[in-house]
Amino acid sequence: MKLHELTIQQAHQLLKQKKISSLELTQAVLDRIGAVEDNVAAYITVAQETALFQAGIADQDISQGNISQLTGIPLGIKDLICTKGLRTTCGSKILDNFIPPYDATVIKKLKKMGAIIIGKLNMDEFAMGSTTENSGFKPTRNPWDSTRIPGGSSGGAAAAIAADMCIGSLGSDTGGSIRQPASHCGVVGMKPTYGRVSRFGLVAYASSLDQIGPLTKDVTDCALLMNAIAGYDTGDSTSVPKDVPDYTSFLNDKLKGLTVGIPKEYRLAKGLDPDVSDAIHSGIETLEELGANCVEVSLPNTEYVVAAYYVIATSEASSNLARYDGVKYGFRDTAKQSLIEMYRSTRSKGFGPEVQRRIILGTYSLSAGYYDAYYGKASQIRTMINEDFKRAFDACDVIVSPVAPTPALKLGEVTDDPLAMYLSDIFTLSANLAGIPGISIPCGFSSENLPIGLQIMAKHFNEGVLFKVAYNFEQATDYHKKKPKIDMPEPNKV
């Protein structure tokens, strides 16, 4: 196995045994990025110099016997998580040259453990999108098929993991932005419970929905990264002071006696691709063979999820993105003379069309005379959705569903149809509205050899049971072991 293909736990063992050095591992990943980045387009910034410097320090620590599970491991970071001294753009021209003066809490935790920050990963602008085509810099391509999307908004993170362009990564999930690209790229992605991982230093899209989480090559790596980033943070008012278990302790449990809920509303969802349906049914059968008991549950307010989400998310985005006015930091149109003209021109040139669309939608929902009819109603529906899950979990331990209704779409397929893009989030949005954890794991392939993910959801702060189910499923299958053959055409030929 080549060094860039290693998992976190494999690399850790080799580093611990001094069979490889962090410098060798980091250089191997940098070489891999150099070999395939032009075709995958997963990175906005590659931090070659600082990564090699950090690797040298990691090797010194290892030589002195100081090694954690992440010491010397090269990680990619979604480009909306603040990294001190390293450009953080949020995939937007309006923050093209923004260099944060501080680290996000999760970055501080990773650095304390000796992890290597190898670069910042491409994304839909301000995390608004499901395809990574809304990046202000370039679209990312799916390593399994260069003509297809990797999903979004953490498309760069998922593509980088699938293409072995980092050993592990962090993304963020507001409505499925970790789970959906994980599904499309055939990797593991977890959205933790809202409040489980600090949001301090995460550039906000929708503050009541955003959550940082890991994207990895397998379930064990996912648990290791969750061990590193989870926990209470006084710097984040939404962080919950709750003890964090060792998530790797759940990786050996069996599924006998566990009850899996199958939402009847998801089974009847319109637009569900036959290949996805077959893969999910096969996945459910595997869980039953492993000893789980599957029962039907109901989430009756599913039909309102998309509408409620896009009112709440765009309303919060409208407020959060008001700070980008060209005055304090970021892009400014200096050609305009008056303050109002500068505001208007800066935001018109700095934000892409999808971000502008969502700001307009959110501003309308919050405007006088419409607040109660839109944001107020959406908040009521959010409460109803949360109650749906509470009742469902009275009858089961976890809920399984598709992650996305189709395998990865063609690049450009929904570029001119934002409503189609919004509707593709039907299976992932509920977990964000309810604040519950969810994980996507590989569960099959389409007839065109495109990865398909299985989503597993659990009660608040019950990530442990997700790891238990996901690990058992992974051990019984080999989908996570399959790798894309990256033999892509040049971008201008597609």
First to last CA, the chain: 31
| Spatial distance between the Cα atoms of 34 and 46, rounded to a whole number of angstroms | 10
List the chain residues with pLDDT less than 70.
487-494
Q: Give the active site residue among 21, 22, 78, 365.
A: 78
Which DSSP state fits 374? I
pLDDT digits 0-9 by tens, 211-264 = 999 999 999 999 999 999 999 999 999 999 999 999 999 998 789 999 999 999
| Spatial distance between the Cα atoms of 274 and 280, rounded to a whole number of angstroms | 10
Q: Which helix (H) or strand (E) holds 399?
A: strand 398-402
pLDDT digits 0-9 by tens, 21-64 = 999 999 999 999 999 999 999 999 999 999 999 999 999 999 99
Residue ranges of domains in the chain: 3-253+466-483
> Angle at CA 259, nearest 5°, toward 256 and 262?
135
What single string gives the DSSP state of each residue in 214-278?
Answer: EEESSHHHHHHHHHHHBS--TT-TT--------GGGGTT---TT-EEEEEHHHHT-TT--HHHHH
pLDDT value of residue 267: 78
pLDDT value of residue 315: 97
Kindly report the backbone phi and psi dihedral angles of residue 63, in degrees, each rounded to the nearest multiple of 5, phi listed first.
Answer: -65, -25
Cβ atoms of residues 187 and 64 within 8 Å? no
| Spatial distance between the Cα atoms of 142 and 450, rounded to a whole number of angstroms | 9
Q: Give the active site residue among 130, 146, 153, 239.
A: 153
Burial class (CB in 10 A: 0-12, 13-18, 19+), 369: exposed
Per residue, the 3-state secondary structure of 29-90, as one string, reads HHHHHHHHHHHHCCEEEECHHHHHHHHHHHHHHHHCCCCCCCCCCEEEEECCECECCECCCC
- CATH architecture of the region 3-253+466-483: Alpha-Beta Complex (3.90)
Kindly report the backbone phi and psi dihedral angles of residue 197, in degrees, each rounded to the nearest multiple of 5, phi listed first.
Answer: -120, 135
**Residue closest to 145 by CA, chosen among 198, 186, 114, 179:** 186
Q: Give the active site residue among 177, 239, 401, 440.
A: 177
pLDDT value of residue 491: 42
Cβ atoms of residues 245 and 209 within 8 Å? no
| Spatial distance between the Cα atoms of 280 and 456, rounded to a whole number of angstroms | 11
pLDDT value of residue 269: 77
- Whether 153 sits among the annotated catalytic residues: the reply is yes
- Whether 2 sits among the annotated catalytic residues: the reply is no
pLDDT value of residue 274: 96
pLDDT value of residue 487: 59
Cβ atoms of residues 86 and 116 within 8 Å? no
- Whether 78 sits among the annotated catalytic residues: the reply is yes
Specify the pTM: 0.96
